[in-house]
């Protein structure tokens, strides 16, 4: 499969080139030349397959031309060593729990897949060290760091905004050591993302070291997120709830929802999508006005969605050939304040006993407000509520049990490299590595 750049000025890349480079040389995002529909027979019997079986069929459509079948199968099965259950919350609203992986957030899927695929390419080529740069507003850092921990030939630099991630999130990528370095940036998530983008564009730095990105701009992280949309559909079909399925995705950088849109292109029968935003409502405003106006991000209690210039918007535009009408016909948007998020967490907990995290709360609320007669809603519960312990406990006034996987991280000692948001300082640091 060839990959082209959304900016249209770079040459096509192979899968390996796209994965190793992350971003195309013209600063565009890579897109596969083809999105292959899966056969009707697959959809007819999808509910009889396991999650890894379904995921492998999807992975084969994306990567089957470039990775030997046995290797790809191994990567998929290793990646998905946890379940992604669709759980009923209320009437016709279901939660797709994406938090049963090692760091309790959906990014484990893409992080684990990418680490394994990149590891395969490095072994195959006998490449020298590859350095992964990843900017995080919270959960990416932990998923990527844990996905890559101990993978030979790869060093990971996690850039995160100082004081803007929760303590548990921070512990998950600052305590690992080995091939993982945490860089604590005095700035916002957008500053971290800008440092990473600048690093990729810097000729001297790229001659000094092989750099790649593990943000959702990387196709190896982004595409595997499609897997669980298919498995979600299979689960809903099994219980007779798959007709008129509306999928709602709490969105920040728009990688997660875009993978779902790819699924729809492959024939997955989702009626429509909802992108739920916090107060960083760039996409919501785009749907309303047809104008894309990025702004500096503002901090919210759903901090993994505090993004002011969502990278994957370029992919959404490309997928619909720039047509606002086409985009608005398949995706609607909602935006919620911290107050509304709090209210939703509390109300759902009181009424149903189901504890939402602040991101999932945006997803739930959008469905509760938008679902029409005859529609069934599924929102992506993108992280475990205990990852946002203080926020969630202060809302419901009840102590939240911390899963064991998280407790293990809390015992580690934080280690980080302090950094200014100034590119020159970051570059000087990397040049010494």
Nearest distance in Å: CB 382, ligand PLP: 3
Q: Is 256 in the site for ligand PLP (CB under 6 A)?
A: yes
Nearest distance in Å: CB 377, ligand PLP: 17
Q: Is 216 in the site for ligand PLP (CB under 6 A)?
A: yes
Q: Is 139 in the site for ligand PLP (CB under 6 A)?
A: yes
The site map against ligand PLP for 272-311 (x = CB under 6 A) is: --------------------------------xx------
Residue 218 or 256 having the CB closest to ligand PLP: 256
Q: Is 252 in the site for ligand PLP (CB under 6 A)?
A: yes
Q: Is 392 in the site for ligand PLP (CB under 6 A)?
A: no
Nearest distance in Å: CB 117, ligand PLP: 18
Q: Is 383 in the site for ligand PLP (CB under 6 A)?
A: yes
10 Å Cβ neighbour count for 83? Answer: 11
Rounded Cα–Cα distance for residues 81 and 263 (Å): 22
Nearest distance in Å: CB 288, ligand PLP: 19
Residue 92 or 140 having the CB closest to ligand PLP: 140
Residue 366 · residue 334 · CB < 8 Å: yes
Q: Which long-range contacts (CB under 8 A, 24 or more apart) does 199-203 make?
A: 199/133, 199/423, 199/426, 199/427, 199/430, 200/21, 200/22, 200/23, 200/133, 201/27, 202/423, 202/427
Residues 413, 417, 421, 427: is their CA dihedral positive or negative? Answer: negative
Binds ligand PLP by CB under 6 A, chosen from 253, 277, 344, 391: 253
Q: Is 166 in the site for ligand PLP (CB under 6 A)?
A: no
Report residue 431 as tokens: 């040049």
Task: Report how far apart, in Å, the C-alpha atoms of 312 and of each of 41, 103, 112, 390 are.
Answer: 31, 23, 20, 30
Rounded Cα–Cα distance for residues 40 and 119 (Å): 34
Choices 158-166, 238-246, 253-261, 336-344; region in contact with ligand PLP by CB under 6 A = 253-261
Q: Is 331 in the site for ligand PLP (CB under 6 A)?
A: no
Residue 166 or 181 having the CB closest to ligand PLP: 166
Nearest distance in Å: CB 355, ligand PLP: 14
Q: Which residues contact 328 (CB under 8 A, 6 or more apart)?
A: 287
Choices 89-97, 138-146, 187-195, 400-408; region in contact with ligand PLP by CB under 6 A = 138-146
Q: Which residues pair with 97 in a beta bridge?
A: 381
In terms of Cα–Cα distance, which of 416, 366, 427, 429 is closest to 161?
Answer: 416
Residue 46 or 192 having the CB closest to ligand PLP: 192
Binds ligand PLP by CB under 6 A, chosen from 171, 237, 359, 365: 359
Total interface residues for ligand PLP by CB under 6 A? 18
Residues numbered 98 to 117 that lie near ligand PLP (CB under 6 A) are 105, 107
Q: Is 250 in the site for ligand PLP (CB under 6 A)?
A: yes
Report residue 184 as tokens: 């604590």
In terms of Cα–Cα distance, which of 217, 230, 333 is closest to 275?
Answer: 333
Nearest distance in Å: CB 406, ligand PLP: 14
Task: Report how far apart, in Å, the C-alpha atoms of 370 and of each of 246, 275, 289, 366, 376 are.
Answer: 10, 12, 20, 6, 11
Give the DSSP letter string of 150-195. Answer: T-TTEEEEEEEETT-S-HHHHHHHHS--TTEEEEEEES-HHHHHHH
Choices 26-34, 137-145, 152-160, 175-183; region in contact with ligand PLP by CB under 6 A = 137-145
Beta-sheet strand order (sheet of 93-97): 86-90, 93-97, 376-381, 245-250, 272-277, 331-335
Which one of 57, 107, 197, 241 is the catalytic residue? Answer: 107
44 membership: H or E segment, kind and range: helix 40-44
Query: Is 107 an annotated catalytic residue?
Result: yes
Nearest distance in Å: CB 153, ligand PLP: 26
Residue 385 · residue 356 · CB < 8 Å: yes
Query: Interface with ligand PLP by CB under 6 A: which residues?
Result: 105, 107, 138-140, 216, 250-256, 304-305, 359, 382-383
Residues forming the active site: 107
């Amino acid at each position: 499969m060839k990959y082209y750049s959304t900016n249209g000025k770079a040459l096509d890349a192979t899968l390996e080139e796209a994965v190793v480079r992350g971003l195309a040389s013209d600063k565009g995002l890579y897109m596969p030349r083809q999105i292959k529909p899966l056969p009707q027979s697959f959809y007819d019997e999808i509910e009889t397959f396991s999650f890894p079986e379904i995921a492998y069929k999807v992975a084969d459509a994306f990567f089957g031309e470039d990775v030997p079948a046995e290797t790809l199968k191994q990567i998929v099965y290793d990646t998905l060593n946890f379940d992604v259950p669709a759980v009923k919350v209320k009437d016709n609203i279901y939660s797709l729990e994406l938090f049963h992986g090692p760091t309790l957030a959906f990014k484990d899927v893409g992080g684990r897949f990418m680490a394994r695929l990149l590891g395969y390419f490095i072994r195959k080529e006998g490449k020298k060290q590859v350095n992964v740069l990843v900017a995080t507003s919270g959960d990416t850092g932990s998923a990527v760091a844990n996905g890559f921990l101990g993978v030979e030939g790869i060093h990971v630099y996690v850039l995160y905004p100082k004081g803007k991630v929760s303590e548990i999130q921070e512990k998950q990528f600052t305590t690992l050591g080995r091939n993982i370095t945490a860089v604590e940036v005095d700035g916002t998530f957008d500053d971290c993302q800008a440092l990473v983008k600048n690093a990729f564009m810097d000729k001297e730095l790229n001659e000094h070291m092989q750099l790649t990105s593990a943000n959702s701009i990387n196709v190896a992280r982004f595409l595997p997120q499609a897997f669980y949309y298919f498995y979600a559909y299979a689960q809903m079909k099994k219980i007779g709830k798959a007709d008129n399925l509306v999928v709602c995705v709490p969105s920040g950088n728009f990688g997660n929802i875009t993978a779902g849109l790819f699924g729809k292109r492959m024939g997955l029968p989702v009626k429509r999508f909802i992108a739920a935003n916090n107060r960083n409502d760039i996409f919501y405003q785009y749907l309303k006005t047809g104008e894309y106006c990025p702004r500096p991000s503002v901090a919210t209690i759903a901090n993994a969605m505090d993004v002011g210039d969502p990278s994957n918007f370029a992919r959404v535009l490309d997928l619909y050939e720039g047509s606002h009408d086409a985009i608005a016909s398949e995706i609607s948007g909602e935006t919620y304040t911290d107050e509304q998020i709090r209210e939703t967490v509390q109300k759902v907990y009181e009424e149903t006993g189901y504890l939402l995290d602040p991101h999932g709360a945006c997803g739930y609320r959008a469905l509760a407000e938008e679902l029409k007669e005859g529609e069934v809603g599924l929102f992506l519960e993108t992280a475990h509520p205990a990852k946002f312990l203080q926020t969630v406990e202060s809302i419901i006034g009840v102590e939240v049990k911390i899963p064991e996987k998280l407790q293990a991280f809390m015992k580690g000692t934080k280690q980080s490299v302090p950094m200014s948001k100034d590119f020159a300082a970051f570059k000087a640091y990397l040049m010494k590595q």
